[in-house]
Structure 1
């Protein structure tokens, strides 16, 4: 474990390039359909080559330079591999009794995806952000997942390894599906559950997303693929082609990391109602991959609260609404610290 008490000043990253993170979800789910035929046996996530990992690592380190420096870096062993976790400890003036917040990332974005959000929360309570097992990042997988539920199990083992008895669990996109599955299977450690554009667990993806995603796994011309990326991500072709440290890192991970492809499922009403912890849901107003208006209606009918639709946002809601989301979530966590 390494420590670093000083924090670097954070440079503002552009949000436009982050919009294309949405396409990774859709492409990954589309690729899963083909992978189930070609490689039906469970696979361990791995780097395709040392050169690919080195290229990704350089991009990852460049993005991490933009984040506030963690108080500690942990490598937590689980039954499925080792989880890289970054901790930002609560400040000395933080209120007593504040539970930690644990941040689960979307596909291929890892801990760096929270760079726009962390400044709002650092100091008030202890924060943990990690790179997921079975995804690009600094975590490593050693045992295959037999089912999607195993992704929730490594989260439970990670919390135990960090001696976290209870925490506010936050998940974006695919991480939202993991967080929801963990809360369903292992509710004891979950003080509250925040789902930011969670995929599949509330509503299935629209058919149009799968149709556009098919272009990403077929030998189509690059201009066609750029158009597909723009349609799925709710952005423009020009923004798809924009290069920033974050978009370079995401591209390198998608190209060089072979990820296992178990997918989440849509929960039943009874499963949602069985969760006794508070659950809040945040949905993008444009190009939502969580189910849009149908997901909003369902979440409200199940008694989740608050259920918020964020204007002028796409699937990359946490980055796009960072300024407003920061105090909103801190207030929500404080209400449920007891």
Structure 2
């Protein structure tokens, strides 16, 4: 299991860095799209394969928004106390989509309704028709999707890039957010480590694959053998990276005033090893800003939600229950 999770982290982090560099070189806004029908079909087969391992959703929604349509999976609450519990909305990391939450859903579905989205402009089942011109547009499509689902208020959870998106949404539309949970949020608290940018250059230039594997291993904090291993999730991410021309605008680091303007409860969980959120420095800054709880989770990397799914499940349920009103 550790090997599988580490490979996912390497692929997601590697492509996050690539998208950041490419956005600086080619800043003209465009629309995410499949490079070929064959590539789309290959990705869809891999995506469906991973989704088949998740609990079957109660409903599948394609919600129209200004920038296209958002694919949302719903697991409807069935427990007797579900009427007293606000829904949870999950926003994924880059290239991961709704399938990334497979390790977590079993801990959360049942007594409360859970929604998982594929992001606009990234590989997945969401469709983009209008360019994103700034990172604030991420907040717009999330807000429109929540409104389209009829959710007046929800607990919003994001991982990695999805955590940055969740933060932008909470800043722009605080009334919709009952609580904000940020798992390894990239860039919004602290920049990426300098070593990540140095190793990432090997992902952008024509060098032997063995060099690229070493770079991804260094970025993700794993071995080269773990990078080479193939799993259903890593195949899905790899097919998306190969066949989908993503348009992923880079989040910015928020000011202290912006963080302090967030009036909803905010929880931040940071990896204890090879954090891409800023590690101890990000945790220190968050605590200084008065955010509570801020947890550095030992033995985890950027794939924190999957690696710590067992303890994180009941912890987050208790946190949400404490802020259902």
Q: Aligning the two structures, in what range does the TM-score lie when normalised by the shorter sequence?
A: over 0.9
- Give CA-to-partner distance per residue, 1:206-243, whole Å, 9 cap, x none: 11001111111111111111111111111111111111
Provide the secondary structure at the position in 2 that maps to 1:171. Answer: strand
Give 2:294's aligned residue: 307
**Deviation of residue 49 (structure 1)?**
0.6
Give 1:17's aligned residue: 4
20-29 vs 157-166, which moves further: 20-29
Could you tell me which of 101, 113, 136 is aligned with 2:123?
Answer: 136
Contact 1:45–1:141 (Cα < 8 Å) also in 2: yes
Provide the secondary structure at the position in 2 that maps to 1:154. Answer: helix
Give 1:36's aligned residue: 24
94-103 vs 16-25, which moves further: 16-25
Provide the secondary structure at the position in 2 that maps to 1:96. Answer: helix
Contact 2:23–2:249 (Cα < 8 Å) also in 1: no
**Deviation of residue 96 (structure 1)?**
3.1
Name the CA distance, whole Å, in 2 between partners of 1:184 and 1:304. Answer: 15
Name the CA distance, whole Å, in 1 between partners of 2:307 and 2:22. Answer: 32
Kindly tell me: are residues 165 and 158 of structure 1, through their superposed partners in 2, closer, same or farther at Cα, counting changes over 3 Å?
A: same
CA RMSD between the two structures: 1.1
326-335 vs 296-305, which moves further: 296-305
**Deviation of residue 31 (structure 1)?**
3.9
Kindly tell me: are residues 104 and 290 of structure 1, through their superposed partners in 2, closer, same or farther at Cα, counting changes over 3 Å?
A: same
**Deviation of residue 305 (structure 1)?**
1.0
Give 2:279's aligned residue: 292
Could you tell me which of 246, 251, 254 is aligned with 1:264?
Answer: 251
Alignment of 1:239 with 2:226, yes or no, is: yes
Alignment of 1:97 with 2:98, yes or no, is: no
- Give CA-to-partner distance per residue, 1:71-95, whole Å, 9 cap, x none: 0000000000110000000114234
Provide the secondary structure at the position in 2 that maps to 1:332. Answer: helix
**Number of corresponding residues:** 324
**Deviation of residue 43 (structure 1)?**
1.0
Could you tell me which of 101, 114, 126 is aligned with 1:127?
Answer: 114
Could you tell me which of 186, 196, 199 is aligned with 1:209?
Answer: 196
Contact 1:21–1:233 (Cα < 8 Å) also in 2: no
Name the CA distance, whole Å, in 2 between partners of 1:271 and 1:291. Answer: 18
Contact 2:8–2:303 (Cα < 8 Å) also in 1: yes
Give 2:216's aligned residue: 229
Alignment of 1:332 with 2:322, yes or no, is: no
Contact 1:171–1:195 (Cα < 8 Å) also in 2: yes
**Deviation of residue 171 (structure 1)?**
0.2
Name the CA distance, whole Å, in 2 between partners of 1:263 and 1:337. Answer: 32
Give 2:184's aligned residue: 197
**Deviation of residue 26 (structure 1)?**
4.4
Name the CA distance, whole Å, in 1 between partners of 2:56 and 2:144. Answer: 25
